[in-house]
Amino acid sequence: MWKFLVIGGATAATLFAQGAPSQMEIANLREDVRGLTQRVGDLSLRIEQLERENNELRSRVGAAGQNYATVAQLNDAVEDLNRTIRSAVATSKNETLQHVAAQMEKLGRQTNAALDSLAKTQATRPAMQTTFAEDYAKEGMSYTVQKGDSLAGIAKKTGARFQDIINANKISDPSRITVGQVLFIPNPPSGAAK
């Protein structure tokens, strides 16, 4: 059983590293294992209690000289109780393992779906510009990106050409400008409309 849990834990660690599981699911699994451990402890205490009661009954029978129950009958009763406890523990372990396996399968599906989605997003992204022309005006002004700005909007606002702003600032992904970023805006070409 422990080998399965260790292997399952390694698989879970792999899935967790990929960002798939939620803290709620992990907490639920921990609570199930904690409950199982507590139940085994409770059953062990009950066995000890029954053994003490059995010894107490034996001593009473010996002291009173009367036969309330034979030792064989008490041993049979204790063995029946032990079988019941072992069966309950096995059932509880199986239920816990099934629950863990179902959660692992669910996390695996979620991880695969997330990876597929990421792969599709990467496949559909346009190629990044890696070379930049130097044919823009070297004179211009600074512009600090404001909330809601886009390169196209900045170009329209300033009268500069969109491609000139990209080349002057060596922006490989025009959709990734950030608020507070300072851009050099080349002067528009002569005769360009503002």
CA-CA distances (angstroms) from residue 65 to 13, 40, 69? 64, 37, 12
pLDDT in tens, 87-111: 999 999 999 999 999 999 999 999 9
Q: Does domain 140-186 have CATH number 3.10.350.10?
A: yes
pLDDT of residue 186: 94
Q: Where are the domains of the chain?
A: 2-124, 140-186
pLDDT of residue 66: 54
181 and 145 Cβ atoms separated by less than 8 Å: yes
What is d(CA 85, CA 120) in angstroms, rounded to the nearest whole number? 52
Question: How many other C-beta atoms are found inside a 10 Å radius of the C-beta of residue 151?
Answer: 20
pLDDT of residue 129: 65
pLDDT of residue 120: 81
Here the tokens at position 189 are 């070409």
pLDDT of residue 21: 61
pLDDT of residue 132: 87
Question: What residue ranges of the chain have pLDDT lower than 70?
Answer: 1-21, 64-68, 123-129, 191-194
Torsion of CA 73, 77, 80, 85, to 10 degrees: -160
pLDDT of residue 86: 93
pLDDT of residue 194: 46
pTM, 2 dp: 0.36
pLDDT of residue 126: 62
b/e for 171-184, b at 16 or more Cβ within 10 A? beebeebeeeeebb
